[in-house]
Amino acid sequence: MRVTVTINGSAETVDDVWEGESLLYMLRERMGLPGSKNACEQGECGSCTVYLDGIPACACLVAAGQVEGREVRTVEGLAEGPSGEERLDPVQEAFVETGAVQCGFCTPGLIVQAHDLIERNATPSDAEIREALAGNLCRCTGYEKILDAVRLAARRKAARP
Ligand code: FES
Ligand code: FES
């Protein structure tokens, strides 16, 4: 089947999508967007989190055919600039600076989820951060560095004019 979808602000047409194909597969294998990670493919880990019409969703649980006419934003699309590489989003910067990235498999999903949290709540408490990220699993960091990253990103975003 053919799917037309907006991905990171660009209108895209994707051909030969098969019936059981996931949005995650389409992004990674057809669109050259490997940021969203495939860790469990069961909606359990959050590594594949993307925005779908502005709401975080597990791309592994969304059929590619379901995104027809909709808008997807991936971790690559959070950076500002024409190529998406000009300037990292403060959440992306904060993850790098605080050491919240180890193997990095969980990182794209955590960044999208944290980005959404800060958009909704500019000054989240630690409890609110933990609740927002409860569906995103990390095997490496022990989560403290991730909390540091979200706190730092929230402070920086709040300080922006
Ligand atoms: S790969 Fe989608 S939730 Fe784990
Ligand atoms: S950094 Fe390795 S799973 Fe989180």
| Cβ-Cβ contacts under 8 Å for 136 (sequence gap 6 or more) | 45, 46, 47, 49, 106, 109, 110, 113
- Cβ of 106 closer than 6 Å to ligand 2, yes or no, is yes
Going along the chain from its start, the domains and CATH numbers come out as 3-78 (3.10.20.30), 90-159 (1.10.150.120)
Q: Give 124 Cα–ligand 2 centroid separation in angstroms.
A: 22
Residues with CB under 6 A from ligand 1: 38-41, 43-48, 58, 60
Joined together, the tokens standing for residue 111 give 């960044």
CA-based nearest residue to 108, from 154, 146, 63: 146
What is the arithmetic mean of pLDDT over 20-45? 96
Q: At what angle do helices 144-159 and 90-97 cross, to 10 degrees?
A: 140
* H or E element, residue 55: strand 55-58
| pLDDT tier for residue 67 given thresholds of 50, 70 and 90 | very high
The number of CA neighbours under 13 Å toward the Cβ of 138 is: 22
User: What is the share, in percent, of the chain residues with pLDDT greater than 90?
Assistant: 91
What is the arithmetic mean of pLDDT over 97-123? 97
Q: Give 36 Cα–ligand 2 centroid separation in angstroms.
A: 13
